[in-house]
Amino acid sequence: MKIVVLDGYAANPGDLSWEGLESLGELVVYDRTAPEELLGRAAGAEILLTNKVLITEGILNALPALRYIGVTATGYNVVDVDAAHKRGVVVTNIPAYSTMSVAQMVMAHLLNITNHIDLHARSVRDGEWEGCSDFCYWKEPVTELDGLTFGIVGLGHTGMATARMAQAMGMKVVAVSSKDAASLRALGIAKSESYEELFSSSDVLSLHCPLTPETHHIVDARRLSLMKPSAILINTGRGPLVDEQALAEALNEGRIHAAGVDVLEEEPPRHGSPLIGARNCYITPHIAWASQAARKRLLDIAAANVQAFLSGEPANVV
């Protein structure tokens, strides 16, 4: 059984083991695979694992031995799933492996924005505290989160984990959700009747919904205009949930206070992004998922998915 990992470096740059997959067949791992390298590397493989390498209908038709594609991520838009199904190729993904890591990154961005940790730590390194006339100083106001409203778009695993963390900080959590109001109340979450109501009432708004045609640019100029000038937007979901130009303009004009984002519309942003350099915009390079614990969980589930497929009972099929 030939197993090929097309782009393994992001998940495992060398600090983890591939032994789970190695025990299941002849394993070949490539750090990265360019489009022109794909067919040569995948030739003869019955099992392919991909994170960002696109598997199109044309690729599927050129790989007659292929029986299984494992997407080493939750989102599976890199695979033409309909074409795979027509060919009888099983496609799986890895849901919920990074729930706590992503929720933690939401809080990291929020605390950086409200407490200015990096700003003040750098000022101390630069000698400002040594020459201060008082025992303390602050270069930007420090904001207390207790009592503020934390809005959530998307109450899946990560949205719920984030909600619990916000509640632990004393924040009132509000969400737009298909769940009924009574069920949400039991979780300590208030139900918002519309996105417009959620955007206008939130002091902090965090995005956790999947990317679909309906949620593409769910944060646009119109909805940004509803937000408080003191509001903070956080996106650890998908870059295209946000109209980057509209957000950059809102930040630069002071119409919202700040944004913390871990994802952009183009990754890496080889053509730039209006958010890079925007006022009070803090960007991390899509690392919310990348704690070692989450990456190990990902590799373990990827191997378990392959094992389940080989056993005739595939799991996490999309």
Specify whether 270 is catalytic. Answer: no
Who's near 262: CB < 8 A, 6+ residues apart? 105, 109, 235, 236, 283, 284, 285, 286, 287, 288
Cβ(216)–Cβ(239) below 8 Å: no
Of 19, 128, 144, 267, the active-site residue reads 267
Of 238, 257, 295, 297, the active-site residue reads 238
Q: Which two structure tokens, joined as six digits, stand for 72?
A: 């080493």
For the four alpha carbons of 167, 171, 176 and 181, in that order, the dihedral sign comes to positive
Cβ(255)–Cβ(225) below 8 Å: yes
Residue whose C-alpha is closest to residue 211's, from 180, 240, 254: 240
Peptide bond connecting 64 to the previous residue in cis, omega within 30 degrees of 0:
no
For residue 296, what is the DSSP state? H
Cβ(190)–Cβ(174) below 8 Å: yes
Cβ(309)–Cβ(90) below 8 Å: yes
Phi, psi of 110 (to 5 degrees): -65, -45
Specify whether 116 is catalytic. Answer: no
Cβ(45)–Cβ(3) below 8 Å: yes
Specify whether 238 is catalytic. Answer: yes
Query: What is the residue type of 306?
Result: V
E strand or H helix at 101: helix 99-115
Cα angle vertex 254, ends 249, 260, to 5°? Answer: 75
Phi, psi of 295 (to 5 degrees): -65, -35
Peptide bond connecting 268 to the previous residue in cis, omega within 30 degrees of 0:
yes
Residues taking part in catalysis: 238, 267, 286
